[in-house]
Structure 1
Amino acid sequence: MRKGLVSGLIGVGAFLVVIAILSLTYWPGQLLRTPLDVDTTTRLEGTALISGEESPIKATNITRVDSEKSDDDVVVFRNSTCVVRNIGDVADCVSQDDPENRLVTASEGGFAADRRTGMAVNKSKYVSADAGELEGLVNKFPFETEKKDYPYWEDTTEQAVDAVYQKSVTIRGLETYLFTVDVEPTPVEIAAGVDGLYSTTKELYVEPLTGSIIRQVEQQVRTTTEGEPVAEINLDFTDAQVKANVDDANSNRRLLNLALKVVPLVGLIAGIPILLAGFVLLVLGRRGQGASNDASPKRADEHV
């Protein structure tokens, strides 16, 4: 019975210690990676002032992982964005020949990013040559985001700009880091075949452990090359979208904290004493067995 108890203690203790070591060394590299089953729809709402006419708008961004092109280190995304005038029972997107002229803008694209850092990857095995060279963060911040500035890809101007850390902000009880992006008026094609100037300001509220963007507030301004207003777009995540993002972030944080903090703590606190207790009983048992053998009576034919 004692032998079974000793074996059990050593086995359980060793198991807990090994699990704790794995959670401290191996699991972070495996768990702190963008999953390969991402399929998200993000919704925003706001207003647009186009050619002097203001109207409510809504935007829909769909992001899906291309699992065939993704691998252990890099995740490949396909995404589409559509902004429409929120007039009548309008769908998430409409065609260019919509009779009520409700389409504001629509675009499709793809990109690749490092699964841990969120930084753009431009290798030809992941993206086509005509996709262009992206730099910086594209759709999320790195796991364990720090209170510092990051390069952030601005798609319209096709350049990386600084996402500047500002402060911590609590949203629905969840701590986020506020980053701001400012793009000064930059020459771009503001419409098909029309040159002009584009500027934007963005507020990005980031959950630091997962790097997910919980809320995004954006103002875009397009003008002629002389500075005459052409369009102004203001967008913010919908309340329902913010709530869903907070719920997802809380759920992911609980799982990551359990695996990376609670498990190693419990494993070491419980595993080491159990393991030591098993070894102590093992040693004591061997000593007791040795003493018993020494004290056993000698046979009659043994010589003294």
Structure 2
Amino acid sequence: MRRTSWVLTGTAVVLVAASAVTRFTVHPALHQVPADAKTTFRYEGTATLLDAAALAAGDMDKAFLRDVPVILDRRIEVRDVDGRTAVVSDHVALRGRDGTEMSTSQHTWAVDRRDLTERAAPAGSGAEKHKGLVIAWPLEPDKRDYRFWDTGTRTVSPARYEGTESVHGREAYVYGIESTGLLADPATAGSLPRTLPREAVLGLSAALPAKQRPEQQELAGLPKAVPLSYTSTTKRRGWVDADTGLSLDGTLHQRVVAQTQGADGPVALFPVTDVDVRGADASVRQQADDATTTGRLLWVLGIGGPVGLLAVALMLVVLALVMARRRVRPGTRTEAACMDRAQAAQNP
């Protein structure tokens, strides 16, 4: 019986250690961006774009593709990890509903694997400098404002907490972001013309709806070769799972506008791109399902598993104590009986 008590006590100690390892080692190791993380989120909506072929041909009546149904896929993939740092590829592709590619962009970021903020770029990673959040939200989001990096202007904007809503049965924190300024993304800016002939600018302006056209007096003062710069305006809303930090849904409205310097300041001439999309229902449902699965796993590793192991350990300790008490009591009665017989022999 003594050996059984020792086995039970030893097993209880092992379970307590396993509980601590599960909560403080296994849980933190899994509650971070995985080294093999790869996900694609799809948006659907419309876009108004310049038609480069029509522009080159001088056909200004067809220079704009207006309100074209589009699909925007954003693919996030971890390329490498170094401790708490993950090097992440961020690829965005805009396509027509028929699959025709309209534009793409590619960025590489170094982010913290838990709070998703900026980290020092590992040597040779090619990661771009940024500040704040850029691809996703902290794994344990709070009801507060965050800093978010806008790739168009290469500046930080506040991601403001707007409230809590339900997305397919999941509690979600809603954040809103607005960014505007000169277009600074070199990949996008490098693909746009720095000057256009005055006739081309006038033709593009005339092809716009009347309420979007520049004032005639502003167009009248344009030089023969019009120098161009570009502004970028981005509006986002994100629905973020309160338990896991996964992005459940989102809206994105990006607008790039060509402008030139007029006598009284910048003059907006015509839009280059105007993309307005929202998360596709299939992607939103998939994200909600993934959040449910991830949330259950994290609960098991962070709460259910450790508490369960501690409960079993406590039961084993109690059982060992009960068995020890039972072992002592029979021995005590036997010793008392022997003493009674000895005394009877001495006093017949």
CA contact under 8 A between 1:190 and 1:196: conserved in structure 2?
no
> Which of residues 273, 276, 280 in structure 1 aligns to 2:318?
276
- Give me the whole-angstrom Cα distance separating, in 1, the residues matched to 2:135 and 2:331: 66
> Which of residues 112, 121, 124 in structure 1 aligns to 2:110?
112
Write out aligned runs for 1:45-56 (5 A). Answer: 45-51=44-50, 52=64, 53-56=66-69
Aligned-pair CA distance for 1:113: 1.1
Aligned-pair CA distance for 1:81: 1.4
Tell me the percent identity: 21
Deviating more after overlay: 260-269 vs 32-41: 260-269
Deviating more after overlay: 189-198 vs 278-287: 278-287
> Which of residues 201, 219, 241 in structure 1 aligns to 2:253?
219
> Which of residues 36, 49, 60 in structure 1 aligns to 2:73?
60
Residue identity in the other structure for 2:166: T
- Give me the whole-angstrom Cα distance separating, in 1, the residues matched to 2:190 and 2:242: 34
1:255 aligns to 2:266 (yes or no): no
Give the aligned partner of residue 207 of structure 1. 241
Deviating more after overlay: 195-204 vs 224-233: 224-233
Give the aligned partner of residue 165 of structure 1. 161
1:84 aligns to 2:82 (yes or no): no
CA contact under 8 A between 1:182 and 1:200: conserved in structure 2?
yes
CA contact under 8 A between 2:110 and 2:128: conserved in structure 1?
no
| DSSP 3-state at the match of 1:198 | strand
Aligned length: 281
Aligned-pair CA distance for 1:137: 1.3
Greater C-alpha radius of gyration: 2
Residue identity in the other structure for 1:32: H
> TM-score with structure 2 length normalisation?
0.72
RMSD: 2.7
Residue identity in the other structure for 1:183: S
CA contact under 8 A between 1:20 and 1:265: conserved in structure 2?
yes
Aligned-pair CA distance for 1:284: 5.8
Aligned-pair CA distance for 1:62: 2.2
> TM-score with structure 1 length normalisation?
0.82
Aligned-pair CA distance for 1:228: 3.4
Give the aligned partner of residue 83 of structure 2. 72
The C-alpha deviation readout for 1:224-260, integer Å capped at 9, x for no partner, is 2222341321011111111111111111111111111
Aligned-pair CA distance for 1:54: 2.1
Residue identity in the other structure for 1:192: L
- Give me the whole-angstrom Cα distance separating, in 2, the residues matched to 1:77 and 1:280: 56
- Give me the whole-angstrom Cα distance separating, in 2, the residues matched to 1:107 and 1:289: 82
The C-alpha deviation readout for 1:96-136, integer Å capped at 9, x for no partner, is xxxxxxx1x211221121111111223343633xx431111
- Give me the whole-angstrom Cα distance separating, in 1, the residues matched to 2:30 and 2:338: 58
Specify whether residues 193 and 285 from structure 1 end up closer, same or farther in structure 2 by C-alpha distance, changes over 3 A only: farther
CA contact under 8 A between 1:190 and 1:198: conserved in structure 2?
no
CA contact under 8 A between 2:174 and 2:240: conserved in structure 1?
yes
More helix by share: 2
